[in-house]
Each structure stands twice: as structure tokens, then as C-alpha cells.
């Protein structure tokens, strides 16, 4: 059993490679993320953060390079194999929550199970609801909930599938300071208690302070890698 959750080697992404103005979004990235890390990715707008997370989470395809998640190479996988792999191992949290307006909170949370034709385990459901403190909104519709509640519901929806790794692109992007802090505390708890690796893009150093390490990217290259406990980490985030 290896302790590596995510392995990236010589990863490149070029948009419009054959067009008149190709854009190198990721320029030969290599790094490894160990199991149970809480990694954050920072960098200026346009530096390649979303591109990176989309490729790591199998939503987008690399131009070249290697990506292994939990020992499996996702680069060579067929579309169907990827979809299956996503369901089994990956969790997602989006800036805009991506909940369905016409379903109640409860229906939203169990939707991935329904779509996979898996029975909802009541105990598990209740544990997640308790952990994220969303009991009082279960029968409400998304429009009746606050942003903080919506994001917790989105976290619950992804937890119900038992992911090994959760990808989050600016999950606090639509939240105010207090709600951002709350969400980070929930994510920290999930990371610690459930042995789930988290890879999160953020532009907010206050969010990043909850992570165990930070990659700073600029122009598609890793410019800095800081690990919690290093002097530089404390300097960066205090
Ligand atoms: P970030 O999330 O850090 O803001 P992105 O990954 O969205 O950065 O974008 C990285 C670079 O790639 C930017 O220059 C952006 O304009 C470019 N880019 C992103 N998506 C596309 C696309 N679909 N086609 C062409 N260029 C793109
Ligand atoms: Mg982005």
C-alpha cells in the first residue's frame, strides 16, 4: 500500500494547441500529494488553477503527462471508466454549489445515490446531516437556504458517496468571511475524521491557513510549495 493519493508527472495543458494562438495553461507540473493531506492551490487569476483541478478530477483532459489517483492512471481511461472512477473515488464542491433548484435539500443530498441505484443508508445519512448541521434545512428548497447552508449541503451530497479525495474550486467564492471560516472548519473536520484528501483552490489566505500545504502557481508553473509547520507557512498565513 502506497501512501500517495495523487501523483502528477510532467503535466501539460495547452489550449488551442493547433490554433493560431495556443495558450500554455499548465507548463510541465510534477508533484505528489500524500493520502489525507489538505492541499490548497493559490495563484493569480488566469494562472491555471481551475485547469489543474479540472484535469486532476478527470473533468478535463491533459495535453500530455501522467496523473495517477490512488494508484490508477486516469489519463488512459475511457469515458465510461472515468465516470465509474469518479463515482467511486472522487468528490466535488463547486463555487456555485450546483444543487438542483427543483429538489429539496434532502433529495439533492441523496441524488447521487439514486442515480447510481444505491439504497440510502439511513444511519450514514443522519451522521452526515449531523456532522454538517443541516438538519433544519432538509425539507427546504435551495432558494430558502443561506449560502453557507447551501455549501454544507453540497458537501453532504459529495460525502454520501464516500469519496477518497475531494476537489473544490473556490468553494468559499460566494461566501462572506464568517461563512467561509465555518466552511473551512467543516472541511478541516472532514479531512481529519474521515481520512479524505482535499485539494482546494482558493484566493483567500484565511482559507489556506486551514490546509496542510499550499502550492502557489503562476503562469502554469509551481512557484512555491509551503508545508504547514514550515516557518514560511506561518509567515504566509498569520
Ligand atoms: P485560474 O483558475 O487560475 O484563474 P484557468 O485555469 O481558468 O486559471 O486559466 C488558465 C489560462 O488558460 C488562462 O490564461 C485562461 O484564459 C486560459 N483558458 C482557460 N480555459 C480555456 C479554454 N477553454 N480555452 C482557451 N483558453 C483557456
Ligand atoms: Mg479558476
Show Cβ contacts of residue 183 under 8 Å, excluding neighbours closer than 6 positions: 148, 151, 152, 155, 171, 172, 175
List the beta bridge partners of residue 167.
92, 199
Cα distance between residue 84 and residue 89, in whole Å: 9
Cα distance between residue 55 and residue 47, in whole Å: 14
Cα distance between residue 201 and residue 85, in whole Å: 22
Q: What is the pLDDT of residue 238?
A: 66
Q: Whose Cα sits closest to atom 10 in ligand 1?
A: 48
Q: Whose Cα sits closest to atom 23 in ligand 1?
A: 15
Half-sphere exposure of 238 (CA within 13 A, CB side): 8
Which atom of ligand 1 approaches the CA of 53 most closely? Answer: 6
Which atom of ligand 1 approaches the CA of 169 most closely? Answer: 2
Among the listed residues 178, 106, 112, the one whose alpha carbon sits nearest the alpha carbon of residue 145? 106
Q: What is the pLDDT of residue 49?
A: 97
- Ligand 2 midpoint to CA 122 (Å): 36
Q: In order along the chain (238 residues), what is the average pLDDT of each group of 10 residues?
A: 90 96 97 97 97 96 96 91 94 96 98 92 96 97 97 97 97 95 96 96 94 96 92 77
Q: What is the pLDDT of residue 1?
A: 56
Show Cβ contacts of residue 210 under 8 Å, excluding neighbours closer than 6 positions: 38, 40, 184, 185, 187, 188
- Ligand 1 midpoint to CA 134 (Å): 35
48 lines ligand 1 (CB under 6 A): yes
Residues in the chain: 238
Amino acid at each position: 500500500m502506497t501512501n500517495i493519493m495523487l501523483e502528477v508527472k510532467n503535466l501539460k495543458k495547452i489550449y488551442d494547441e493547433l490554433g493560431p494562438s495556443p495558450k500554455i495553461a499548465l507548463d510541465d507540473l510534477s508533484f505528489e500529494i500524500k493520502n489525507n493531506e489538505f492541499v490548497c492551490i493559490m495563484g493569480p487569476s488566469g494562472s491555471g488553477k481551475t485547469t489543474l483541478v479540472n484535469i486532476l478530477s478527470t473533468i478535463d483532459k491533459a495535453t500530455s503527462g501522467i496523473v495517477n489517483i490512488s494508484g490508477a492512471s486516469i489519463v488512459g481511461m475511457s469515458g465510461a471508466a472515468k465516470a465509474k472512477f469518479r463515482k467511486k473515488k472522487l468528490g466535488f464542491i463547486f463555487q456555485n454549489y450546483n444543487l438542483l433548484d427543483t429538489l429539496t435539500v434532502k433529495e439533492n443530498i441523496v441524488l447521487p445515490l439514486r442515480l447510481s441505484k444505491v439504497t440510502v443508508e439511513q444511519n450514514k445519512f443522519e451522521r452526515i446531516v449531523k456532522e454538517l448541521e443541516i438538519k433544519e434545512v432538509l425539507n427546504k428548497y435551495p432558494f430558502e437556504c443561506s449560502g453557507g447552508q447551501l455549501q454544507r449541503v453540497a458537501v453532504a451530497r459529495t460525502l454520501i458517496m464516500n469519496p477518497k479525495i475531494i476537489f473544490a474550486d473556490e468553494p468559499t467564492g460566494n461566501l462572506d468571511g464568517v461563512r467561509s471560516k465555518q466552511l473551512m472548519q467543516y472541511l478541516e473536520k472532514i479531512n481529519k475524521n474521515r481520512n479524505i484528501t482535499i485539494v482546494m483552490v482558493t484566493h483567500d489566505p484565511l482559507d489556506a491557513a486551514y490546509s496542510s500545504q499550499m502550492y502557489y502557481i503562476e503562469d502554469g508553473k509551481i512557484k512555491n510549495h509551503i508545508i504547514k509547520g514550515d516557518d514560511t507557512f506561518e509567515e504566509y498565513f498569520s
